[in-house]
Every structure is written in structure tokens, then in C-alpha cells.
Amino acid sequence: MRFAIARDVALLAARVGIGVVFVAHGWQKFATWGMDGTATSFAQMGVPMPEVSAWFVATVELVGGAALVLGAAVPVFGVLLAFVMAGALVIVHAGSGIFVDQGGFELVLALGAGALVLAAVGAGRWSLDALVAPRLAQVPERTPERTPERV
């Protein structure tokens, strides 16, 4: 029981922490830079189809980040967010090393890995997924496999 509570606290903290960062980045693309500015920036970084990519990335970050915070459709949004971060890593940041202050990939790697873990393990009991679709909230506990007895 204690492990289950600790797991749910950890999942809640991870969802909220990672989700808030994604919301901030998505909001920044919409409200601070605007979609034209984001698309221009994406074009300069070599992102394919910069106008479409800007809308896709900003929407996934904003909506997906909010979904993580709320614990809604976490497996779906976790995969989408990991996909966006993988694209950012490969297309933009990989050639600059690891450190973010040098344009590196540390932030996108950490965010993408965190989102992927949440997609794999689910949102936990303290989530909208647990209320609406309990199967999305967490992966069922593994039980030892039974092997047939030999005679």
C-alpha cells in the first residue's frame, strides 16, 4: 500500500512538473513569438514544413502539457510529446552537444524521456484518467507467470 501511494505521488509530481514546462513552451510559441515568429524560427533551424510544424508543436506542447498536469489521456499525449522532443533533438539540437546553454539537447532529452515514461506507466490514481478510463491510469501490476508442471 505504501509503495502504491509513493508511486502515485511520484507520478503526480512528474506529470505536473513536466506538464508545466510543456505548457510554458507551447504558450510561448502562441503568445510571445506568435505563430508567424515560431514558423520563421523553425524555418531558420531547418525544421521541415515550418508553418505546419509550428502549429503542430505549439498545440501538442500546450494541450499535451495541460493533459499531463490533469492526468488526461496521458499515454496518448506522452507519446506525442516524446515524438515532438525527438524531432527537436534530431533536427535542431543534436549537433550542438548536450548542454542547453550551447543549444544542446539536454532539455529536450529530459522532457522527451519523462513524457515517454509517463506514457508507458500511466497517470496514476490521482488523475482524470483514473476517473474516466482507469485502464489508462496505470499499467496493471505484473503477476508471476505460471509454468506448466512437469510430470
Predicted pLDDT at 134: 76
Unique residue bearing C-alpha cell 503526480: 12
Residue 70 has pLDDT above 60, yes or no: yes
pLDDT value for 138:
63
Cβ atoms of 106 and 98 closer than 8 Å: yes
DSSP label at 122? Answer: -
Query: CA–CA separation, 44 vs 53, rounded Å?
Result: 13
Q: What is the pTM of this model?
A: 0.88
Quick: pLDDT tens for 138-150: 655 555 555 555 5
pLDDT at 21 over 90: yes
